[in-house]
Structure 1
Amino acid sequence: MRIMSLNGWGGKLHEPLIAYLQTDQPDVLCLQEVIHSPEAADDWLLYRDGDHLLPQRANFFRDVAAALPHHTAMFCPAAQGVLWNNDEPVPSQWGLATFVRNSLPVTAQAQDFVHKAFSPHGYGDHPRSRPAHAIRVYDYARNRMVAIVHMHGLRDVNGKMDTPERLAQARRLQELARRIAAPDDPLIVCGDFNVEPGSETFAVLAEIGLTDLVTAGGFGGTRTSHYRKPGRFADYMLVNRNVGVREFTVVTTPEVSDHCPLILEI
């Protein structure tokens, strides 16, 4: 089974990202920072947050679903706010999504928030609402269940240091993983955590037997050249002892986002 975790950056690098997914075709794609704008007539909209302007693929969720036609697509919104078509506001949902190959039955799933709750009337103040999604699938190749959980961790404008909110987030992520996975399941927890490698988040997840493959593998970061700020880590993939890791890599080329894809073969 091939599992990919990626922050898609709202589809800003649409063409290389879609081409990459069409070629790679992971069995499970855990995708963060996904845009879903059902009322949008145009392909591109603009996100405005003060002086920060970012082009967004209006129906990024739909685009990825079309690139993975043999997958079941599940969207988990964090908030509904406004993107802009010139001066026209367009309602747009923002969150994460999970895509599962149709040959892998999803036997259980849970969607919840690791920070705040759904924001129906605007994206809200920072740090904004953050969702997580957990699935349990049956792997016929190995005749076993596999549990996979991913989240998009909260963004603090002051940086990626540990805070009480991030500790509470880690506890909620741990609880969601406990809820979806049976004791003997291979368990994978991944996503854009928005923390540094030494964060107490990893001690919380170690309580349920999870270890991180990014730091253990000696990778130098999970950010691409499109990320111009200090700090090269944001994304992680953790596994328990029931996961038979065949290969794990942080993909540096092609660059399809300001985050690198993380790929695990089990």
Structure 2
Amino acid sequence: MCLNGWGGKLHEELLPYLAETTPDILCLQEVIHSPASEKDWLTYRDGDHILPQRANLFRDVSAALPEHVAIFCPAAQGVLWDDDTSIPSQWGLATLVHRSLPIIGQVQGFVHKDYSSLGYGDHPRSRSAHGVRAWDYYANRALSVTHMHGLRDLNGKMDTPERAKQARKLLDMSRSLAEPDDLTVICGDFNVEPDSETLSILGSAGLTELVTGRGFDSTRNSQYKKPGRFADYMLINEENAAKHFDVIHDPEVSDHCPLVLEV
């Protein structure tokens, strides 16, 4: 499963959904980790953009999936707010892998900028990626899964040199993780349109994109009020290994839809 967790805004819907579906591998973007606070909720403020954030979403998701190995990969440490008190808080990705799948390799790094230790920074902000290589005993082969949260450009989701560069970095990270015989998946909230250069770069590497390839017309739900219905994608190097793929619109656990792949 691949999902942008929206900072846990729909926490009450998200955690039961994850506990019920129990994905073997969960790739989660927009994850909050605030070890300096025991509060359940803090507030993100960026000009007139104000959003409640689940202060320790990483902790909460880890508790909802107790049989998983949970890995947090921060992109930046900035400030969230408890009324007028500033709280240092990390923001990034999480990958959770069921303990029945041994993790035999990992890759972690940045696809845009580097770790921002003194604030979230100016847009477009630092963006990280993380990959795991796990052994699938049922298939008797390794599965390599790499995900990122693509940069957000305030001007929109158009192609830019920075987005092309991050796509190549993401591909390089996946290639550094996967062995030639691996079943390989790349996924995430890419923040681009279906006709983007990002997807062309990944497609030219022999990966098949499943969202539009399987006929889905959106990865957003009613929580998302802006135009543009695509953000999230999942690609695989062996299309015939994709036994089932779905974009989940119900229940709504974020303003993004979970992408669920069965191999």
Give deviations 1:97-133, integer Å, cap 9, x for gaps. Answer: 0000001010000101000000000000000000000
C-alpha contact 1:190 1:236 (8 A) present in aligned 2: yes
For structure 2, the residue ranges without an aligned partner over 5 or more in a row are none
- Does the 8 Å CA contact 2:208/2:239 hold for their aligned counterparts? no
CA–CA separation in structure 1 for the residues paired with 2:66 and 2:72: 15
Letter in 1 for 2:32: I
How far residue 211 of structure 1 moved from its aligned partner, in angstroms, is 1.1
SS of the counterpart of 1:80?
strand
Deviation string 1:152-188 (CA, Å, 9 cap, x unpaired) is 0000000000000000011101100110011111100
Question: Partner residue of 1:124?
Answer: 121
Aligned with 2:42 (options 17, 26, 45): 45
1:225 equivalent in structure 2: 222
Aligned to 1:187: 184
SS at match of 1:154: coil
For 2:207 and 2:213, locate their aligned partners in 1 and report how far apart those are by CA, in whole Å.
12
1:105–1:138: 8 Å Cα contact kept in structure 2?
yes
Aligned length, in residue pairs: 263
| Residue 196 (structure 1) aligns with | 193
Rounded to whole Å, the distance in 1 between the matches of 2:238 and 2:180 is: 11
Q: Are 1:77 and 1:93, in contact at CA under 8 Å, matched by a contact in 2?
A: yes
Alignment of 1:12 onto 2:27 = no
Correspondence 1:47-126 to 2 at 5 A: 47-126=44-123
- % identical equivalent positions: 65
Displacement of 1:243 after TM fit? Answer: 6.0
SS of aligned partner of 1:187: strand
Say whether the 8 Å CA contact 2:203–2:209 is kept in structure 1.
no
Task: Report the AA paired with residue 100 of structure 1.
Answer: V
Q: Distance in 1 between matches of 2:204 and 2:182?
A: 16
Letter in 1 for 2:62: A
Displacement after TM superposition at 1:208 (Å): 2.2
- Find the partner of 1:134 among 131, 142, 157: 131
1:24 is aligned to 21
- 1:158 aligned to which of 140, 145, 155: 155
CA positional deviation for 1:242 = 6.9
Structure 1: distance between partners of 2:134 and 2:142: 6
User: TM-score when scaled to structure 1?
Assistant: 0.98
Q: TM-score, normalised by structure 2?
A: 0.99
1:206 to partner: Cα distance: 1.9
Matched, 1:145 2:135: no
| CA-based RMSD | 0.8
